[in-house]
């Protein structure tokens, strides 16, 4: 929703007011009332953490938000990621999808962190998607009750997804502590498993700050995490990937069969660009002059020319420029080829 690989990098965490601190909001319940000496010690500990060697430069963390037990860690979303347009788009798509699914239950979700952490919305969503009723209390106000509900819901979700190859990127604690990245991983996985009628934005990445406490010293790291639909399929749901590939093959053959052509291998048969060009002509109902491309390309450069030309035809047809590079398609990169074909499928699936 989505590749879960994380790369250590640098980043700047924006300063926030005490009552708006993203560490406090996403990191779990914090003790706010401390004796003056404890507060002073905590500020000193935070100061040492910020100034400690081998930490990313520029990271500014409010000391009060770094109250951790020894050998524990906390993961927080860098607030700058919230301004990312693709990230905002992902949030909107998922919220609209949940509200559509739960319309009969008169449930309206406005904020994924605040509305999903207690398990109520996740319970209703899973029951609606799976058609399975869970044995949980309808309303739970206490933290213990909320975590018990979450445990039941997530066990049911994991039991369903794990046999299909999904990697579980969420937990009771991460969801209940309002870890938005974990919530997004869960929702994207559900949306893709149940083939939700939505289009998830591509190449969504977020920056998170990980704070760990080791031997009394706070250590921080800034990670980049990717929440990408095709990455998720390729890395965590091979069964679902095959379903998508089959759907795309059926779609392209529906049109290419008009020229007595047939595709059986997506990554290899589109690599020289010829089928892409012919497919665009069929979808847009025009003949592509043979002098515009290489019908039997032999060199790498000729194949790149063909794929680039196919991309131009897509843009002429009103589609956005493909995210993939022509070179990646020519090099048999499955993910890139799938992105291109899925974009065509989304826009022309009802074309005859």
Identify the weakest region by mean pLDDT among 37-41, 81-85, 126-130: 37-41
86 and 187 both lie in a single domain? yes
Average pLDDT over every residue of 17-43: 40
Structural domain includes residue 11: no
Query: Which residues, at least 6 apart from 185, have a Cβ–Cβ distance to it below 8 Å?
Result: 1, 2, 4, 169, 170, 227
Domain edge (last residue) among 176, 199, 222: 199
> Where residue 335 falls among pLDDT bands split at 50, 70, 90?
confident
207 close to 224: Cβ distance less than 8 angstroms: yes
206 close to 84: Cβ distance less than 8 angstroms: yes
Structural domain includes residue 69: no
Average pLDDT over every residue of 16-23: 37
> Where residue 29 falls among pLDDT bands split at 50, 70, 90?
very low
pLDDT of residue 307: 96
Average pLDDT over every residue of 147-171: 88
Question: In the structure encoding, which two tokens stand for residue 119, read together?
Answer: 């398990």
pLDDT of residue 5: 38
pLDDT of residue 289: 92
Identify the weakest region by mean pLDDT among 66-75, 120-129, 150-159: 66-75
Per-residue pLDDT at 64 exceeds 50: no
pLDDT in tens, 293-310: 999 999 999 999 999 999
Q: Give how many domains the chain has, as a whole number.
A: 2
Three-state SS string over the chain comes to CCCCCEEEECCCCCCCCHHHCHHHHHCCCCCCCCCHHHHHHHHHHHHHHHHCCCCCCCCCCCHHHHCCCCCCEEEEECHHHHHCHHHHHHHHHHHHHHHHHCHHHCCCCCCHHHHHCCCHHHHHHHHHHHCCCCCCCCCCCCHHHHHHHHHHHHHHHHHHHHHHCCCCCCCHHHHHCCCHHHHHHHHHHHHHHCCCCCCCCCCEEEEEEEEEEECCEEEEEEEEEEECHHHHHHHHCHHHHHHHHHHHHHHHHHHHHHHCCCCCCHHHHCCCCHHHHHHHHHHHCCCCCHHHCCCCCCCHHHHHHHHHHHHHHHHHCCCCCCCCCHHHHHCCCHHHHHHHHHHHHHHHCCCC
- 37 or 318: which carries more pLDDT confidence? 318
Per-residue pLDDT at 266 exceeds 80: yes
Domain edge (last residue) among 199, 217, 251: 199
Query: Which residues, at least 6 apart from 334, have a Cβ–Cβ distance to it below 8 Å?
Result: 234, 266, 267
pLDDT in tens, 87-125: 899 999 999 999 999 999 899 999 999 999 999 999 999
Structural domain includes residue 135: yes
188 and 242 both lie in a single domain? no
Per-residue pLDDT at 230 exceeds 90: no
pLDDT of residue 322: 82
184 and 97 both lie in a single domain? yes
Average pLDDT over every residue of 273-291: 93
Question: In the structure encoding, which two tokens stand for residue 41, read together?
Answer: 């010690």
180 and 261 both lie in a single domain? no
Q: What domain range includes position 253?
A: 237-349
Per-residue pLDDT at 268 exceeds 60: yes
Average pLDDT over every residue of 236-255: 80
Structural domain includes residue 264: yes
Structural domain includes residue 138: yes
pLDDT of residue 281: 93
Query: Which residues, at least 6 apart from 44, have a Cβ–Cβ distance to it below 8 Å?
Result: 63
Average pLDDT over every residue of 223-245: 67
> Among residues of the chain, what percentage have pLDDT more than 90?
39
Per-residue pLDDT at 50 exceeds 50: no
> Where residue 30 falls among pLDDT bands split at 50, 70, 90?
very low
Identify the weakest region by mean pLDDT among 113-122, 213-222, 244-253: 213-222
pLDDT in tens, 176-193: 989 898 999 899 989 888
Q: Which of 81, 92, 100 is nearest to 22 (CA)?
A: 81
Structural domain includes residue 224: no
Q: What is the CATH number of the domain that holds 260?
A: 1.10.418.10
Per-residue pLDDT at 226 exceeds 70: no
**Measured distance CA(157)–CA(130) in Å, rounded:** 9
pLDDT of residue 81: 83
Structural domain includes residue 213: no
**Mean pLDDT score of the chain:** 77
Query: Which residues, at least 6 apart from 161, have a Cβ–Cβ distance to it below 8 Å?
Result: 168, 189, 193, 237
300 and 192 both lie in a single domain? no
25 CB burial (10 A radius; 0-12, 13-18, 19+): buried
């Amino acid at each position: 929703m989505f590749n879960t690989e994380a790369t250590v990098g640098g980043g700047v965490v924006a300063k926030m007011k005490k009552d708006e601190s993203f560490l406090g909001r996403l990191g779990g319940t914090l003790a706010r009332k401390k004796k003056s000496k404890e507060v002073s010690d905590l500020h000193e500990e935070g100061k040492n953490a910020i100034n400690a060697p081998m930490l990313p430069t520029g990271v500014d963390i409010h000391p009060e938000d770094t109250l951790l037990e020894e050998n524990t860690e906390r993961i927080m979303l860098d607030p700058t990621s919230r301004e990312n347009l693709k990230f905002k788009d992902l949030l909107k798509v998922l919220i609209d999808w949940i509200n559509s699914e739960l319309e009969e239950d008169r449930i309206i979700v406005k904020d994924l962190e605040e509305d999903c952490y207690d398990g109520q919305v996740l319970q209703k969503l899973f029951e609606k998607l799976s058609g399975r009723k869970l044995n949980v209390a309808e309303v739970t106000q206490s933290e213990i009750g909320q975590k018990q509900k979450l445990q039941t819901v997530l066990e049911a979700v994991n039991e369903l997804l794990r046999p299909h190859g999904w990697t579980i990127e969420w937990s009771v604690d991460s969801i209940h502590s309002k870890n938005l990245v974990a919530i997004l991983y869960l929702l994207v996985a559900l949306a893709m498993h149940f083939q939700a009628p939505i289009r998830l934005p591509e190449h969504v990445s977020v920056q998170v700050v990980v704070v760990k406490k080791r031997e009394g010293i706070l250590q921080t790291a800034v990670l980049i995490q990717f929440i990408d639909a095709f990455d998720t399929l390729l890395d965590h749901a091979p069964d679902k990937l095959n379903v998508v590939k089959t759907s795309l093959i059926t779609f392209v053959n529906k049109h290419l069969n008009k020229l007595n052509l047939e595709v059986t291998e997506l990554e290899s048969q589109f690599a020289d660009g010829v089928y892409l060009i012919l497919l665009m002509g069929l979808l847009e109902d025009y003949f592509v002059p043979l002098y515009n491309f290489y019908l039997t390309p032999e060199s790498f450069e000729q194949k790149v020319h063909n794929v680039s030309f196919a991309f131009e035809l897509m843009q002429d047809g009103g589609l956005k420029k493909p995210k993939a590079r022509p070179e990646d398609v020519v090099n048999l990169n499955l993910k890139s080829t799938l992105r291109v074909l899925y974009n065509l499928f989304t826009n022309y699936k009802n074309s005859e």
